[in-house]
Copies of this chain bind each other. A is one copy, B any other.
């Protein structure tokens, strides 16, 4: 990002490696936003795994970056490197970026792992993601029409840069963004609303269940979401509720776009049916019950998606 644009908006930095190969990973604890801005220092692999599992650091690209930095910590103990890599890669199942980033760092470490080499590769992953965000924003902005509806958080807090869907919005600056609350963990209400205000975007929070009624009233020009994993045929896993938005958008003739770096594409999966869907605790929905079903993601079939916005440009259907 050119320095001039960086200065134009307040800095939101969800992750940073502090110091050299013997340094540590500093993250913003996103579970406390928007009420508290607290940073945590992670110095052990198990702390990184916990932070990913508990969603202190979240967003498909960002957990990939976090795990890559986690590999720096892992490389300090070559004897347990494989086990650490496995634990990082499996901290959450749905976003492909996580395992892919761990694999990539593991590969460059080869037979002589050193924290320095892991750090160089993690920084490269981080840098490349920031650049991908910039390009996604540029590629997606011309597609935006009218008010944009989005779900979850896809901005600075979810990536190594300005975001995926959020980068598109930052660039397009639509008149209004409708932000779905994003139950059960309220990433839209807690994170995107906060981030939009800091970036000077006009955002209006709505309940997830209100998206259909907004479309019915003609208030939504297009839908742009992020992605956690895209299968080879374009089927896209993303935050629970995304599938319903895609069905609703199609029923109202509203374009539905997915914005994601190509690191989100899992070429080994032919279709979305094989994407593992993380099921989280019922208590996240209602602390007083265990009789709840809480899938964190759903899969939107490619036929409902009007474009995949990547750093290499926009892919129109059919997806390749």
> Measuring CB to CB, which residues of chain A are less than 8 angstroms from any residue of chain B?
34-35, 151, 178, 180-184, 186, 189-190, 193, 197, 203-214, 216, 240-241, 243-244, 247-248, 250-251, 282, 285-286, 288-289, 291-295, 298-299
Contacts of A240 in B (CB 8 A): 207, 209-210, 213
- CA–CA, A212 to B251, complex, Å? 13
In contact, B247 and A205 (Cβ under 8 angstroms): no
Could you jot down 17 A-B contacts, CB within 8 Å?
A181-B183, A181-B286, A183-B183, A186-B286, A204-B291, A204-B292, A205-B286, A205-B289, A205-B291, A207-B240, A210-B241, A211-B244, A213-B244, A213-B295, A216-B298, A248-B248, A251-B251
Contacts of A294 in B (CB 8 A): 206-207, 210
Output the nearest chain B residue to A304 by Cβ-Cβ distance. B251
Main secondary structure of the interface of A (DSSP, over half): mixed
- CA–CA, A299 to B212, complex, Å? 10
Most buried by B among A193, A209, A213, A240: A209
Contacts of A180 in B (CB 8 A): 209
Output the nearest chain B residue to A207 by Cβ-Cβ distance. B183
In contact, A247 and B212 (Cβ under 8 angstroms): yes
If the complex has contacts A183-B183, A204-B293, A206-B292, are A212 and B286 also in contact, measured as CB distance less than 8 A? no
- CA–CA, A289 to B241, complex, Å? 22
Most buried by B among A151, A183, A197, A299: A183
In contact, A295 and B247 (Cβ under 8 angstroms): no
Output the nearest chain B residue to A294 by Cβ-Cβ distance. B207
If the complex has contacts A294-B207, A298-B213, A298-B216, are A193 and B289 also in contact, measured as CB distance less than 8 A? yes
